[in-house]
């Protein structure tokens, strides 16, 4: 291993540590807030509501908004799938040489598509007046970090010499997660659960009636 | 920009801080401002300006939240768009929360993350009440409800006289000279909670009589303006009147008139304020009547309502309470030509009158404009009659019918039932108690 690889590897691991500790702090912040189960007698099924919230409720056809903004929604889905793929690749990257070439090429394709979705995100944020008006430096930094992460991940999948770049950028991105907008994924699991509980218990969702 | 004085700043922070439970925190943190919720809001559809999009509105509250509670927002406000409150910004937030969101939760249903914007707006309303920025009319109406219990003896005689006057109409409608409206009856099965005015008492009295129910009329009205203020202390006090009355009369269930927020409050929200389920069941009159029709306890003839009828799903009853199929059971039985709006059920558009908007005259123009999508929905059905199961919706639908020249008549769901009713009780038809 070269010095550069060691230094950037340590950077990535440090970023991961900051991310884990930071997210732990965020999660404890949520868990530390009061939560009361609804005591009114249920009309529908809370469990079926939660199950719907995380499955069919996420389907592109499930909501009027996602049907209307199909491209934007699919862009978001692809971006997130690519991020998961990128993180998986990051975990596997120290064993770059052992990963079959076909898998690396496939991974690079997915990550490149994800990077394109990230770039499209910049375009959409600038195009929509409301989004443009509301966007903060954090929005652009978060999207920029993710897009660069996907770009370096894609490059490193086909060219091992790019690995230090991936590790350095990953360290930066991971360390930033608890402090910027990227932390939203932690809260996603809460809001979807609460969504399912609310509309499920009250018998609003057809699948929970 | 006038900075908030120290006391007010502390009040705002403390009030918001106490409201941030796990649900609210998650909703405040989860939004990535993807923007796809915009068209789910009737305000945005009626007037597609950025400030009418749900994510835009909730972002204004998030800016306040970040400036007070998020470490990054406190130290690097420009980076995350945090904004410390000023006199002006607080007044703007208060107006936004009360005038441009009806708390209908259509955006929640349409958000990929399920962000509860209504809860965020409620939190902002609570902060506004604490800061003395709530609409005066809502405050007065809420306080008047509380005062009614405090001065019940002064009201009681007048109220009973009004009820006695209505009994004549019940006798006429049912053809039964013994028909009456029971009030304050201990040991009744049902405590029926109506709204102020005869329009929610009379149809219910006729139907209770026809079904042979053992019921009694509440001394109090169902509406709860404390809920619109998002002032739990006031809302709880208003609800307590009914809870105490139900416990004193030892009823088995409380039946709420066809009123959206009143039902949602008593059925779903209030038990959480009291920290336990009520010792009585809470149902809507709609559930009761749908059951009576299905079980053959009352007989209806749809030819009495021959005109095309469409139904407006109240956001509180439908999307927020799951009363979705029950009104349709009724309408299919009592109307010859029932037509659905598109979209309908839990996806229905808010009429624009919810969240207390009908009671706040200063925002009438905004309310009528926000009713535009509903007007289009109604017009597309070709219906001559719009049935509503919520009094606020009924007022708003009447106003938008006039404003948009729809030429539709707006009626309460129970009015249609009474019109279709074929009185059978005098012929020895089974009573509700017999069937049960």
Specify the CATH number for the domain of residue B32.
1.10.1060
Angstroms from B414 CA to nearest CA on chain A = 22
B-contacting residues in A 150-179 (Cβ below 8 Å) = 179
More confident residue, B154 or B323: B323
- Tell me the pLDDT tens digit for each residue of B253-280: 999 998 999 999 999 999 999 999 999 9
For residue A66, which of B34, B50, B103 has the smallest C-alpha distance?
B34
Domain boundary among B293, B327, B352: B293
Does the beta carbon of A55 lie under 8 angstroms from any beta carbon of chain B? no
For residue B40, which of B114, B94, B97 has the smallest C-alpha distance?
B114
User: Which residues of chain B have a CB within 8 Å of the CB of A131?
Assistant: 33, 35
Quick one: B73 and B169 in the same domain? no
What confidence category does residue A209 fall into, taking pLDDT thresholds of 50, 70 and 90? Answer: confident
Which residues, 6 or more positions from B145, have their beta carbon under 8 angstroms from its beta carbon? B220, B221, B223, B224, B225, B226, B238, B241
Average pLDDT over residues B61-87: 96
Domain boundary among B119, B134, B149: B134
- Res B436: pLDDT: 45
Quick one: B388 and B274 in the same domain? no
Which of A202, A206, A209 to probe the B interface (max B CBs under 10 A)?
Answer: A202
User: Which residues of chain A have a CB within 8 Å of the CB of B21?
Assistant: 33-36
Quick one: B313 and B269 in the same domain? no
Whether residue B4 is predicted with pLDDT greater than 90 in this model: the reply is: no
- Res B433: pLDDT: 52
CA nearest to A143 within chain B: B32
Angstroms from B327 CA to nearest CA on chain A = 14
Angle between helices B413-420 and B326-334 (to 10 degrees): 40
Considering only B25-34, B108-117, B225-234, B426-435, which range has the smallest mean pLDDT? B426-435
Quick one: B116 and B194 in the same domain? no
Quick one: B307 and B286 in the same domain? no
- Res A204: pLDDT: 97
Q: What share of chain A is helix, strand, coil (3-state, %, to 5)?
A: 85, 0, 15
Average per-residue pLDDT for chain B? 94
Residue B430 belongs to a domain: no
Quick one: B105 and B170 in the same domain? no
What confidence category does residue B432 fall into, taking pLDDT thresholds of 50, 70 and 90? Answer: low
Residue B375 belongs to a domain: yes
Residue B1 belongs to a domain: no
**C-alpha torsion B128→B3→A140→A61, nearest 10:** 10
Angstroms from B179 CA to nearest CA on chain A = 34
Q: Which domain holds residue B13?
A: 6-134
- Kindly determine whether residue B324 and residue A40, on different chains, have CB atoms separated by under 8 Å: no
Whether residue B427 is predicted with pLDDT greater than 60 in this model: the reply is: no
- Tell me the pLDDT tens digit for each residue of B112-157: 999 999 999 999 999 999 999 999 999 999 999 998 888 888 888 8
Helices (H) and strands (E) in chain A, counts: 9, 0
| Residues in chain A, overall count | 209
Q: Which of A66, A196, A205 sits opposite B36 (nearest CB)?
A: A66
Angstroms from A115 CA to nearest CA on chain B = 17
Quick one: B201 and B255 in the same domain? yes
Average per-residue pLDDT for chain A? 96
Percent of chain B past pLDDT 70, that is, above it, reads: 97
- Kindly determine whether residue B272 and residue A195, on different chains, have CB atoms separated by under 8 Å: no
């Amino acid at each position: 291993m070269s010095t550069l690889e060691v230094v950037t590897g340590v950077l990535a691991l440090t970023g991961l540590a900051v991310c884990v500790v930071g997210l732990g702090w965020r999660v404890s912040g949520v868990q530390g807030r009061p939560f009361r189960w609804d005591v009114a007698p249920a009309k529908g099924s809370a469990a079926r509501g939660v199950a719907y919230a995380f499955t069919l409720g996420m389907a592109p056809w499930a909501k009027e908004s996602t049907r209307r903004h199909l491209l934007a929604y699919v862009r978001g889905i692809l971006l997130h799938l690519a991020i998961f793929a990128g993180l998986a690749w990051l975990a596997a990257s120290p064993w770059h040489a052992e990963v079959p070439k076909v898998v690396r090429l496939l991974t690079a394709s997915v990550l490149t598509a994800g990077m394109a979705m990230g770039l499209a995100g910049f375009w959409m944020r600038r195009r929509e007046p409301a989004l443009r008006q509301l966007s903060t430096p954090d929005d652009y930094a978060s999207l920029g970090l993710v897009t660069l992460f996907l770009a370096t991940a894609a490059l490193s999948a086909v060219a091992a010499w790019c690995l230090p770049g991936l590790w350095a950028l990953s360290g930066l991105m991971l360390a930033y997660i608890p402090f910027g907008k990227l932390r939203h994924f932690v809260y996603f699991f809460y809001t979807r659960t609460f969504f399912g509980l609310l509309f499920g218990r009250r018998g609003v969702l057809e699948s929970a009636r | 920009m006038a900075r908030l004085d120290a006391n007010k700043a502390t009040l705002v922070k403390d009030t918001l801080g106490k409201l941030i439970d796990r649900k609210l925190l998650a909703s405040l943190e989860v939004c990535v401002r993807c923007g796809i919720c915009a068209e789910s809001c009737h305000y945005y559809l009626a007037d597609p300006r950025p400030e009418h999009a749900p994510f835009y509105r909730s972002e204004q509250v998030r800016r306040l939240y970040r400036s007070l509670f998020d470490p990054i927002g406190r130290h690097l406000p420009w980076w995350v768009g945090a904004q410390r409150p000023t006199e002006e910004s607080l007044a703007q937030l208060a107006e936004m929360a009360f005038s441009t969101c009806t708390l209908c939760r259509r955006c929640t249903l349409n958000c990929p993350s399920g962000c509860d914007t209504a809860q965020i707006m409620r939190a902002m309303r609570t902060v506004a009440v604490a800061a003395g920025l709530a609409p005066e009319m809502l405050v007065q109406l809420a306080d008047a409800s509380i005062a009614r219990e405090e001065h019940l003896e002064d009201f009681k005689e007048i109220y009973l006289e009004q009820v006695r006057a209505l009994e004549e109409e019940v006798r006429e409608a049912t053809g039964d000279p013994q028909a009456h409206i029971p009030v304050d009856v201990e040991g009744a099965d049902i405590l029926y909670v109506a709204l102020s005015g005869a329009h929610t008492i009379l149809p219910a009295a006729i139907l209770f009589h026809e079904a042979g129910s053992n019921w009694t009329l509440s001394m109090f009205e169902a509406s709860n303006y404390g809920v619109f203020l998002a002032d739990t202390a006031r809302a709880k006090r208003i609800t307590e009147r009914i809870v105490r009355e139900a416990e004193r009369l030892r009823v088995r269930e409380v039946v709420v008139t066809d009123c959206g927020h009143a039902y949602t409050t008593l059925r779903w929200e209030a038990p959480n304020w009291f920290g336990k389920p009520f010792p009585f069941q809470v149902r809507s009159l709609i559930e009761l009547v749908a059951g009576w029709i299905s079980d053959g306890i009352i007989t209806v003839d749809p030819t009495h309502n021959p005109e095309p009828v469409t139904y407006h799903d109240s956001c509180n009853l439908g999307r927020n309470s799951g009363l979705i199929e029950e009104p349709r059971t009724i309408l299919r039985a009592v109307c010859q030509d029932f037509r659905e709006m598109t979209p309908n059920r839990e996806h229905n558009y808010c009429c624009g009158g919810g969240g207390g908007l009908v009671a706040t005259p200063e925002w009438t123009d905004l309310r009528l404009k926000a009713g535009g999508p509903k007007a289009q929905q109604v017009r597309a059905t070709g219906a001559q009659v719009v049935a509503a199961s919520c009094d606020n919706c009924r007022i708003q639908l009447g106003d938008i019918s006039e404003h948009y020249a729809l030429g539709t008549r707006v009626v309460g769901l129970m009015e249609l039932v009474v019109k279709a009713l074929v009185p059978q009780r005098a012929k020895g038809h089974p009573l509700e108690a017999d069937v049960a």
